[in-house]
Structure 1
Amino acid sequence: MVALLALWVWAFIDCLTTPEDEIRHLPKVVWVIVVLFFPLVGSIAWLVAGRDRTGARRRRAPWPAGPTAGYPEYERPRRPLAPDDDPEFLASLKRGNEQHEDMLKQWEADLRRREEELRRGGDGPEDEGRPKP
């Protein structure tokens, strides 16, 4: 009983999802009705005679059908590279990293200079107009 139910459900779903150009002998709507109302006979009939399982897959366009479909391999337009495979993108990351490192070094040097000025008693350029305590 469970096997019959499983066969019927599988045949019904397969009938619903099969493209129209892969169905033989009857229209798709008729096959759906046959499988739905005659579970055992309709399911077996669908498996035996309903679907073209031989050449339909070879006749369809390659998946996904898009801008590269129909081109021979050597004429196929190049797809964009993933960011981690693109040398230009990786070089721009390296340049950005170097710029950030340089900026960090400048900030650290400026911080050391200011700390040294504070240790000496505030004789820096910011303190020229102020009276000393």
Structure 2
Amino acid sequence: MPRILLTIILPLALWVWAFVDCLTTPEDEVKHLPKVVWVLIVLLFPPLGPIAWLIAGKQRGFHRAAAAGGADTAGPGYGGARGGRPLAPDDDPEFLASLKDLKKSDKDHEEMLKRWEADLRRREEDLRGKDEPDDGRKS
């Protein structure tokens, strides 16, 4: 059983993964050769083609971020032009701006609640005043 795993299943899984990875990689992330050539190498030369793709075919990690021009924000919470690693919340300018909006919104809510409480107290006092007899005399 371990022999089947090492000789058939593992190389097949590597070949399928490398083929799919090669097909889904954007053209500007492919290194050294055109993407079509890499697809042919991966397809026609298993297991050397997938191993070559892993080693030399695609920009990975730091090299991809450097090629993209550093860490610019392509989307909320992500660094790099192609969705690199997520930024920490305190490093994400969009998240920090949303917190400022929340603080402003909280202050507005607090003021609104104070107005409602004052209005409720006034209405309760008005209702108490109508329920109490004037001089204790009935007319």
Place the TM-score, normalised by the shorter chain, in its bin.
0.5 to 0.7
Deviation at 1:41, TM superposition (A): 2.8
Could you list the runs of 5+ residues in structure 2 that have no partner in the other structure? 1-7, 81-92
Q: Distance in 2 between matches of 1:41 and 1:14?
A: 15
The answer for the alignment partner of 1:81 in structure 2 is 98
2:119 to 88, 92, 103: 103
| 2:33 alignment partner, SS class | coil
Percent identity, please.
Answer: 42
1:17 to 24, 31, 34: 24
The answer as to 2:75 corresponding to 1:58 is no
TM-score where L is the length of structure 2: 0.58
Count how many residue pairs are aligned between Structure 1 and Structure 2.
Answer: 109
Q: Distance in 1 between matches of 2:72 and 2:50?
A: 29
Deviation at 1:10, TM superposition (A): 2.4
The answer for the alignment partner of 2:14 in structure 1 is 7
- Return closer, same or farther for 1:64/1:9 CA change in 2, 3 Å cut-off: farther
Point out the more displaced range, 95-104 or 7-16: 7-16
Deviation at 1:38, TM superposition (A): 4.0
Contact 1:8/1:35 (CA < 8 Å) preserved in 2?
Answer: yes
Deviation at 1:35, TM superposition (A): 2.1
| 2:47 alignment partner, SS class | helix
Could you say which structure has the larger radius of gyration?
Answer: 1
Q: Distance in 2 between matches of 1:24 and 1:44?
A: 14
Deviation at 1:101, TM superposition (A): 0.5
Q: Which has the higher contact order (CA 8 A, sep 6+)?
A: 1
The answer for the alignment partner of 2:50 in structure 1 is 43
Could you list the runs of 5+ residues in structure 1 that have no partner in the other structure? 70-77, 124-131
For 2:98, the aligned partner's letter is L
